[in-house]
Amino acid sequence: MDRPITTLYMLMSVDGKISTGASDELDVDRDFPTISGLKEGLHQYYEIEQTTDLWSFNTGRVQEKMGVNRKDPPAKSPVSFVILDNHHLTENGIRYFCAWAKTFVLITSNRSHPAFDVKEENLHIIIQEKTDLRGALARLKKDFGCERLTVQSGGTVNGLFLREKLFDYVDLVMAPVLIGGKDTSSLIDGASLKSREELSGLGVLKLESCTVLEDSYLRLRYQVIH
């Protein structure tokens, strides 16, 4: 395979939502710890996250929402981060990841991105005229030795991975809650299928394991069948 083995690892509600609402003020990482019935078992998601791949993929949009443009970085991590971003990360956000990550790879089509003003040895920039996830993943493996990649991006980019058949595994922690709302981000968003000819874009899954966690949480791990 000319790209890393990818795993989509996400926390979601029983109805497939990965946010608590359509506003940037609403977010599962901020909100679940405040809700009785959810906060008790939430630690399990973060504990499992610590066992995922040493390469992690996310987006600037998600990280902006998490506040990295305003935060000081945590202690140095053994994890290498790959961020897809055109305009959400500021220079402080870039420096945050440089200080935190073992290796930081930014994928962008914005030649004026503030990352170009940052000079750090562990910062690498992949410039694309338009987003090409398959090409970016091939570069990650060839140029940086990335063999396995955990994806934790938003629903729209998750949808791009799905339609381009770039997911190999799906690893879900399901929280015991229903959120609802057609404008609330789901596990897979983006363009819907519109014809039977497009059904090859479905992600057919083979269950590998189902683990009943504490406090009514579940962990479901699937292999994606292409």
Average pLDDT, the chain: 97
Count how many Cα atoms sit within 13 Å of the Cα of residue 133 in the half-sphere of its side chain.
22
Amino acid in the structure at residue 134 = R
Which is it for the CA torsion 111, 113, 117, 119, positive or negative?
Answer: negative
User: Is residue 170 within 8 Å of 224, Cβ to Cβ?
Assistant: yes
Q: What is the CATH number of the domain that holds 60?
A: 3.40.430.10
Nearest of 30, 195, 22 to residue 11 by alpha carbon: 30
**Strand 169-175, strand 218-225: pairing:** antiparallel
Beta bridge partners of 82: 57, 105
Split into its structural domains, the chain has a count of 1
Is pLDDT of 201 > 90? no
Residue 130 domain boundaries: 5-225
User: Is residue 105 within 8 Å of 84, Cβ to Cβ?
Assistant: no
Q: What's the confidence (pLDDT) of residue 118?
A: 98
Nearest of 41, 19, 22 to residue 30 by alpha carbon: 19
Backbone angles phi, psi at 51, to 5 degrees: -100, 5
Is pLDDT of 24 > 90? no
pLDDT tens, 32-52? Answer: 999 999 999 999 999 999 999
- Start-end of H helices in the chain: 28-31, 43-49, 60-66, 91-100, 133-144, 155-163
pLDDT tens, 75-85? Answer: 999 999 999 99
- Euclidean distance between CA atoms 217 and 134, whole angstroms: 33
- Euclidean distance between CA atoms 224 and 226, whole angstroms: 6
Q: Which residues contact 2 (CB under 8 A, 6 or more apart)?
A: 138, 141, 142
- Euclidean distance between CA atoms 64 and 83, whole angstroms: 11
- Euclidean distance between CA atoms 33 and 37, whole angstroms: 10
pLDDT tens, 121-161? Answer: 999 999 999 999 999 999 999 999 999 999 999 999 999 99
pLDDT tens, 85-116? Answer: 999 999 999 999 999 999 999 999 999 999 99
- Euclidean distance between CA atoms 60 and 69, whole angstroms: 10
